[in-house]
């Protein structure tokens, strides 16, 4: 899942220190399964307007009645945002909100050149009305701050393009379930992976891709008996989403204190 424009895919490419190590911010679920109603009640769609009448599409995660967690690269230039909550069909949400003066908190150390600290908080223009289709997702417990989640099965979801040749984002919410790849293995593909990143295996052509940047990576935590948010879709290989290269996410456990300080949304102790 990569983030994609409502009309034209909006991508950001960087050249890293390794040859051909070009990155692109992500925006689609490639090779995914169509979600069912209420399967991902935390999923938020973001239609983002920038200067010069540019539009893009990103994902986000509802973490409270009033706050959405997403990627900084999605919203750093936003002048207006439409929020889509509680829908599997992209254009048929349970709730729709528009903010012409969006409340955006980028991480203070966000670096658009390296995509480091690719995380942002959005305050909804009014509290979401919670239901079976609209529910906040839990954050990891503070005791999980040093958890790697290596080789655990995790789920990522979004409305991005479904393969490398698609020219439009999906109208249906899709998801893939893959294992978390260790950062050590991920470094073979990306020279700039940091402890604040988490990577997902994409062998078999199932991956995030253009259109779903900012969307969630989740894991079922048996100690909390709940799905928890462990990653935010950040970037992948520019050469394509179905080539088997890992997808890279912002690691949520690295930012629990910042999230709590900005939003008041805390984490459990255990």
pLDDT at 129 over 80: yes
- Rounded to an integer, the average pLDDT of 181-201 is 95
Q: Residue 11 — very low, low, confident or very high, per pLDDT cuts 50/70/90?
A: very low
**Residues 6 or more apart from 165 whose CB is under 8 A from it?**
none
Q: How confident is the model at residue 145 (pLDDT cuts 50, 70, 90)?
A: confident
Q: What is the pTM of this model?
A: 0.86
- pLDDT score at 242: 57
User: Closest Cα partner for 221 from 268, 165, 171, 254?
Assistant: 268
Query: Averaged over 4-13, what is the pLDDT?
Result: 28
Mean pLDDT of 87-101: 94
Give the confidence band of 193 by pLDDT, cuts at 50, 70, 90: very high
245-260 pLDDT, tens digit per residue, is: 899 999 999 999 999 9
Cross-strand pairs, 246: none
Tell me if 69 sits within 8 A of 119, measured CB to CB.
yes
What pLDDT is recorded for position 18? 31
Distance CA 27, CA 20 (A): 20
pLDDT for residue 261:
97
Using pLDDT thresholds of 50, 70 and 90, give the confidence band for residue 3. Answer: very low
User: According to the model, what pLDDT value does residue 268 have?
Assistant: 62
Whole-number percent of the chain with pLDDT over 70: 79
Name the more confident of 135 and 147: 135
Active site residues: 73, 118, 213
- Identify the structural domains of the chain with CATH numbers, from first to last: 43-136 (2.40.10.10), 137-253 (2.40.10.10)
- Answer whether 10's CB lies under 8 Å from 169's CB: no
Could you read off the pLDDT of 67-77 as tens digits, one per residue? 999 999 999 99
Helices (H), 42-182: 72-75
């Amino acid at each position: 899942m990569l983030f994609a424009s409502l009309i034209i895919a909006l991508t950001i490419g960087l050249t890293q220190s390794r040859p051909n190590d070009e990155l692109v911010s992500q925006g689609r679920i490639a090779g995914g399964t169509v979600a069912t109603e209420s399967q991902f009640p935390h999923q938020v769609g973001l239609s983002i307007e920038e200067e010069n009448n540019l539009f893009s599409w990103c994902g986000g995660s509802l973490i409270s009645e009033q706050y959405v967690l997403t990627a900084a690269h999605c919203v750093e230039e936003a002048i207006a945002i439409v929020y889509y909550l509680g829908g599997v069909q992209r254009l048929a949400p349970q709730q729709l909100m528009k903010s012409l003066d969006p409340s955006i908190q980028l991480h203070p150390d966000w670096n658009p050149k390296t995509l480091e600290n690719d995380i942002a908080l959005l305050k909804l223009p009014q509290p979401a009305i919670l239901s079976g289709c609209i529910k906040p997702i839990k954050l990891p417990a503070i005791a999980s701050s040093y958890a790697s989640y290596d080789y655990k099965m995790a789920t990522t979801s979004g409305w991005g393009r479904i393969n490398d040749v698609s020219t439009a984002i999906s109208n249906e919410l899709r998801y893939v379930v893959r294992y978390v790849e260790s950062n050590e293995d991920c470094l073979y593909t990306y020279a700039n992976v940091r402890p604040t990143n988490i990577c997902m295996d994409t062998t078999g052509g199932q991956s995030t891709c253009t259109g779903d940047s900012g969307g969630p990576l989740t894991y079922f935590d048996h100690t909390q008996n709940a799905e928890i948010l462990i990653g935010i879709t950040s970037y992948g290989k520019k050469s394509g989403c179905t080539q088997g290269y890992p997808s890279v996410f912002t690691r949520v456990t690295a930012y629990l204190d910042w999230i709590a300080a900005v939003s008041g949304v805390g984490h459990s102790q255990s």
